[in-house]
Structure 1
């Protein structure tokens, strides 16, 4: 495990910055070389810093191991991979280990804010177990430096007092971010990759039995609507610039708790390790069916089950665990903490970059070599398209 500090802030060169009444707004863009890199951080479980000891580490490491190891690992990953965007997929803080949720959030997200890299987060099932509700948490996260997080989608109701407020939808942290094409290309001002974030909830009671949360029908309705709207915009752009239609606009999704179908992957081919049972809701709300129907989501990135780090395919959509990142969260003695990296690559046209051609992923271990493992192609544009 290597130590790492910032001497100067790292500013993302692929992000346009402009002012608005609410502050600074970021426009996510592919790089000039046609790539866009995302760092997924799952289950930091940040508590109270030095006072929050590590779990499931070697006895020789325990006496000096704390949340600060998580902070160091995040700084190291940002320096090593130089991502264009960081996605935090829930259980960012561990509520029972802090009496001040706001302070824990500031410390947990501190390295990415120091770096100047845009980022976004969803909530897990432990974030709200301290001094803030889920709504308060997402509102606070949305106001943090360089955060693109949103409490929920804005309301489109222009006829009553809801105008300018949030859409009436279950959960907090449902939103979409667009990634625009490479600078200098015809798609420089058009979304070519969409990032959907969904709140999978925490815990609920169903017929007297406690179970994990799930993505509700109102959220799926919003996802269908947002996806359709973005795909219509994508086709309009292709018509205007007279490029051949190649595919529904590519999208990725991020949420915390896995869907029930992920359990099926134990009996199928997968890349990575299936080390523990899938802790999902007893309710199947039709997330997979919805994702298949909208056609644009190529991969989903989840957390929750810390020692699972595999990617498996369900009906043409990849589901990938980030792997446990935080040292205050449970793990397995001798098993290195880890992070997932996602790389989207554009198709090279005759004269310029076009739409997304390929999505790849790999993991980095917090070991002496920061080992890169399990690199794979998740999705690739069909040559016939």
Structure 2
């Protein structure tokens, strides 16, 4: 009798569990449950929704003020709205958020956010709607809804962030700035404008473009070196021509002018790939690195150009580490950037393959990118800048050797090139064959030579290009001297010239440059030239030069 009772209980419990699973399955996939059982199960996206937003301000003069709220209820957006530039005040955004399945009938979901001094309802066409604007500190207004299903819709706000500067722009897919009005904080124009940006609905999945040679066999790479973007519009350094500032409203906004230059060359050249070769961010003028990154990213996203990036010595002198920046950049549209192996020194040691034209699965071009770090770890012994570490060189060698078998299956000449930020010591060789402006400034290659040049030559890389030295814009050819034979061209080493007005450009006057590499895979040829921001060379190809022909490194034609 006892066994029969136990068996009946087990069978009943199993049946109940099975019934629950069936009901749960039907609810999630067919949405047919009665309202009494149906409790905010997501269909469009999983995760959290924002139920409230507020702003707190605190002062070092007032020990009773606090920028912290109950952590069980509120999540603080960890960006001081004064960017730690105020001696006395700090301010932070806070959000309340819940997972959709945890929402109750009492909860409201934020569906709109704006900033202004006046109640938006007075100018809204839908001022009679059930949802009313609610005021929060700092001129912040939010609209919330408790309607069934709103948390499961594309109108629900699911994330909140802050970007800074009058030129703040959003680059993330699915995110949008709430308007042109900045948060109303004490101090006004003294501090960078703080703009709220929100994401609605689920995170947008990013499809990465596949680099491929065009049907005519051509592929063009634009190198942007040292754009030195700031938080805010930035200030120009060493801008030319003289008197430019006075002719353009009395000031030269560095990032605005840099963006105009880049966009003009994009429209002239129509590149297939952009390489950002370091110092995209001017660390000392970028208390919010994210805002600086989004400016160049959005420009390339707008033009639908894939891009890759490596870091320079100034990129991580702002508010974000290299690892944090790369995590952000990897998730942006059109970005092909990668952090690289975690067991190799630096962040951003990786490569991309450019596939041959048509539907071929073979690689026609390999682009290697390596992190050259920043400052010397042993300043007393090796003054100046850091160098590529042995495990980076080992990684490069192993990677290049591992790719060779697949590259040989490509019926034409496969071409390998590399990009770095800080030049390698061989750039200082006084016996280089030079094309372009020769050493406006002395090469600031590291004092210690770790041997990367030899690895590049041995693995068949035809060209390496760097930035860092802003007003050097030449290409130098180093040859291998075999005993009793003519010197054999081994590797072209190019400088891009600086692009950004936020960095220096002195040493006798320098017009900002952008370097182009044009690949003709039909002829296995690489041609390079530069474009100028100003001067008599605007609209012309400067120092046009064939550096590879027939799949071989070639010396410049004489005469």
Q: TM-score under structure 2 normalisation?
A: 0.57
Equivalent residue runs for 1:305-384 within 5 Å? 305-315=469-479, 316-332=490-506, 334-347=509-522, 357-367=524-534, 369-381=538-550
Q: Is the CA contact 2:312–2:421 (under 8 Å) kept in the aligned structure 1?
A: yes
Q: CA deviation at 1:55?
A: 3.1
Q: CA deviation at 1:233?
A: 1.0
| 2:468 maps to 1:304 | yes
Describe the shift of the 1:49–1:72 C-alpha distance in structure 2 as closer, same or farther (beyond 3 A): farther
Q: How far apart, in 2, do the equivalents of 1:150 and 1:22 lie? A: 17
Q: CA deviation at 1:325?
A: 0.6
Describe the shift of the 1:168–1:22 C-alpha distance in structure 2 as closer, same or farther (beyond 3 A): farther
Q: CA deviation at 1:100?
A: 0.1
- 1:69-125 alpha-carbon deviations (Å, 9 max, x no partner): 001111111111000000011011110011100111111333112111100111000
| Secondary structure at 2:441 match in 1 | coil
Q: How far apart, in 2, do the equivalents of 1:284 and 1:51 lie? A: 35
Unaligned runs of 5+ in 1: 1-20, 154-166, 348-355
Q: How far apart, in 1, do the equivalents of 2:366 and 2:551 lie? A: 19
Equivalent residue runs for 1:1-385 within 5 Å? 23-62=206-245, 63-66=250-253, 67-153=255-341, 167-183=342-358, 188-206=360-378, 208-209=380-381, 210-235=383-408, 237-238=409-410, 243=411, 249-264=414-429, 266-274=430-438, 275-295=440-460, 297-315=461-479, 316-332=490-506, 334-347=509-522, 357-367=524-534, 369-381=538-550
Instruction: State the match for 2:15 in structure 1.
Output: none
Q: Is the CA contact 1:93–1:108 (under 8 Å) kept in the aligned structure 2?
A: no
Q: Is the CA contact 2:421–2:468 (under 8 Å) kept in the aligned structure 1?
A: yes
RMSD: 1.9
Q: How far apart, in 2, do the equivalents of 1:326 and 1:285 lie? A: 30
Q: CA deviation at 1:372?
A: 1.5
Q: Which has the larger radius of gyration?
A: 2
Q: Is the CA contact 2:223–2:277 (under 8 Å) kept in the aligned structure 1?
A: yes
- 1:181-205 alpha-carbon deviations (Å, 9 max, x no partner): 1115xxx211111000000001123
Q: How far apart, in 1, do the equivalents of 2:497 and 2:551 lie? A: 30
Describe the shift of the 1:178–1:312 C-alpha distance in structure 2 as closer, same or farther (beyond 3 A): same
Q: CA deviation at 1:139?
A: 1.9
Q: CA deviation at 1:211?
A: 2.3
Unaligned runs of 5+ in 2: 1-203, 480-489, 553-559
Q: Is the CA contact 1:124–1:304 (under 8 Å) kept in the aligned structure 2?
A: yes
Q: How far apart, in 2, do the equivalents of 1:212 and 1:109 lie? A: 28
Q: How far apart, in 2, do the equivalents of 1:304 and 1:121 lie? A: 14
Deviates more, 1:56-65 or 1:216-225: 56-65
Q: Is the CA contact 1:301–1:322 (under 8 Å) kept in the aligned structure 2?
A: yes
- 1:45-77 alpha-carbon deviations (Å, 9 max, x no partner): 111342433334344123331221001111111
Q: Is the CA contact 2:208–2:333 (under 8 Å) kept in the aligned structure 1?
A: no
| Secondary structure at 2:372 match in 1 | coil
| Secondary structure at 2:391 match in 1 | helix
Q: How far apart, in 2, do the equivalents of 1:269 and 1:34 lie? A: 29
Q: Is the CA contact 1:205–1:211 (under 8 Å) kept in the aligned structure 2?
A: no
Q: How far apart, in 2, do the equivalents of 1:102 and 1:226 lie? A: 31
Q: Is the CA contact 2:234–2:502 (under 8 Å) kept in the aligned structure 1?
A: no
Q: How far apart, in 2, do the equivalents of 1:75 and 1:175 lie? A: 27
Q: How far apart, in 1, do the equivalents of 2:517 and 2:275 lie? A: 10
Q: Is the CA contact 2:231–2:289 (under 8 Å) kept in the aligned structure 1?
A: no
Describe the shift of the 1:30–1:253 C-alpha distance in structure 2 as closer, same or farther (beyond 3 A): same
Q: TM-score under structure 1 normalisation?
A: 0.81
| Secondary structure at 2:233 match in 1 | helix
Describe the shift of the 1:273–1:207 C-alpha distance in structure 2 as closer, same or farther (beyond 3 A): closer
Q: Is the CA contact 2:258–2:499 (under 8 Å) kept in the aligned structure 1?
A: yes
